[in-house]
Structure 1
Amino acid sequence: MRLKLQDLTRQFGKKTAVDAVTVDIAPGQMVGVIGRSGAGKSTLLRMINRLADPTSGSIHFGDVEVSSLRGSALRHWRRDCAMIFQQFNLVPRLDVMTNVLLGRLDHRSTLASILNLFTREERLLAIAALERLGIEQTALQPAGTLSGGQQQRVAIARALMQRPKMLLADEPIASLDPLNAKIVMDSLRDINRNEGITVLTNLHTLDTARTYCERIIGMSQGRVVFDGTPDELTADAVHQIYGVGDASTFDEGMTSTSITVPQPTAEHTGIHPSSGVRSLATV
């Protein structure tokens, strides 16, 4: 199902955070949204997930008008449109397994959720999600004891437990070191390619967007100023998005931290060939 945004606008008082954005995203695309801080990237994703309501405009996913959903229909949409945050949003005192299982809450009865009655099938799904991301050995650890990279992979596993139709990632690698950033982005690309799930992710890093995303949307002052392939992201386009310096001398290094790293040796990794995800178990 296609995601269609039509003249989507969000205002905070007199400030327009997102200004008449019209975008059509085909099923199964991996799309990176880039731009300076304050360009409207996070607000855009929050509106798609309906964590923020549009001031005007519409959001459609297939035949569903997302922007008009209320009550249980809105809860179902948030289940189908999973969100991954920069700060992980895990429960630090709960073990990793339980944090992942929380992704099933919208699939279960209220009583079962209150009593924490997860089925054997749900627990097997949670273990499979952790194995896919190379962190099954952390299942019984409190989430707060994990590294940042591991916590973000737990958040991705929790999102997978929702069985989403779309995955939104709001700056998923902004607080990670380059190696963990690579592992997380490899995981998102694997999910996109192998599951066919549409992935829409906000990124600060141009090199990451070029490497992982088949389509890049550039925002500036709440508007879409670029929408194209990585090959079409020329120096002039980058200058228009970031609005600094001269296009001919613009240094992309100012926007990114490279996540290109040497491949670790097999004895230091937890590699799962069946999933295609390269994961560093000791990180």
Structure 2
Amino acid sequence: MFQLKNVTRRFGNRLAVDSVNIDIPQSQMVGIIGRSGAGKSTLLRMINRLADPSSGSIHFGDVEVSALRGQALRDWQRNCAMIFQQFNLVPRLDVLTNVMLGRLNHRPTALSLLNIFSRDERLMAIAALERLGIEQTAMQPAGTLSGGQQQRVAIARALMQNPKMVLADEPIASLDPLNAKIVMDALRDINEREGITVITNLHTLDTARQYCERIIGMAAGKVVFDGTPAQLTAAAVHEIYGSDKDGAGIDESMTSTSINVANLPTGELAPQSASLKPLTLAGI
């Protein structure tokens, strides 16, 4: 069980996150929605300990995450993989090396500084890329890839951490609908196949409804909704997002990223095989 207990984060006099209490069982896929500035990203950053709570506590099982320091904190950040909207890859390094960087907290510092990776680590990285349908990009500089490909590389890097939890901060905000679907399919596959808890911030209601078994709505730093997609009624959406400048309710179609997969040309979608293809180190 993952728990946030009265978690608050202040920036000066401003409350970014206000007394949040959440319990998340292992293996849930949770979507967090809300307006910009609602506190979604700050909440994820506190879970990963990229930011510290001003008050309250964060727990994973018997471990108080918010109290961790030193190696114990680095171990938590290894177990709690973070995927960012901006991808956070090293553009000049090839894709394979970017993926293998997910092993940094699993290996001696000297090997990391010398950029020395084992055959097993290379095989793991290739397997992760194959799973996401982009193994053909392994030797390309990461900066030459499209946004959708780069986000899949970031997910492959997260898989290399062997995490217990994956946090995704607006992972599809800068992607077109097709690549958004591929990325969300990948996150759902990780959740279902490995049983890994996935918590993702989303800016589109249709995506949250389609992919997440639980949706948490935030407004002004507070949790104002916590339920299933079926419970996300028009009234709940109004409480989360409020009204537009003319006082009208939010039209969900304005944030829709839905695509009709049946109408896509053949070959548009990357293969999403349930099993990995044979691996090879040829040419690496």
TM-score bracket, normalised by the shorter chain, equals: over 0.9
**Seq. identity, %:** 72
TM-score by length of 1: 0.94
Aligned to 1:6: 5
- Partner Cα distance (1:163, 1:248) in 2: 45
Cα separation, partners in 2 of 1:20 and 1:86, compared to 1, 3 Å:
same
Q: CA deviation at 1:258?
A: 1.8
Contact 1:178–1:257 (CA under 8 A) maintained in structure 2:
no
Aligned to 2:281: none
Aligned to 1:88: 87
- Partner Cα distance (1:249, 1:102) in 2: 45
- Partner Cα distance (1:182, 1:54) in 2: 33
Amino acid in structure 1 at the alignment position of 2:95: V
Q: CA deviation at 1:273?
A: 2.6
CA displacement, residues 70-111 of structure 1 (integer Å, 9 cap, x when unaligned) = 000000000000000000000000000000000000000011
Aligned to 1:251: 251
Unaligned runs of at least 5 residues, structure 2? 277-284
Unaligned runs of at least 5 residues, structure 1? 277-283
Aligned to 2:219: 220
CA displacement, residues 138-165 of structure 1 (integer Å, 9 cap, x when unaligned) = 0000000000000000000000000000
Extract structure 1 runs of 4+ deviating beyond 3 A. 245-250, 263-270
Aligned to 1:281: none
Aligned to 1:235: 234
Matching of residues 1-283 of structure 1 within 5 Å? 2-245=1-244, 250-254=250-254, 256-263=255-262, 264-275=264-275
Q: Pick which of 109-118 and 133-142 moved more.
A: 109-118
Q: CA deviation at 1:117?
A: 1.4
- Partner Cα distance (1:33, 1:229) in 2: 12
Contact 1:238–1:247 (CA under 8 A) maintained in structure 2:
no
- Partner Cα distance (1:51, 1:249) in 2: 35
Kindly report the root-mean-square deviation, in angstroms, between the aligned alpha carbons of the 2 structures. 1.6
TM-score by length of 2: 0.93
Cα separation, partners in 2 of 1:249 and 1:112, compared to 1, 3 Å:
closer
- Partner Cα distance (1:152, 1:244) in 2: 32
Contact 2:182–2:269 (CA under 8 A) maintained in structure 1:
no
Amino acid in structure 2 at the alignment position of 1:77: W
- Partner Cα distance (1:242, 1:175) in 2: 21
Aligned length: 274
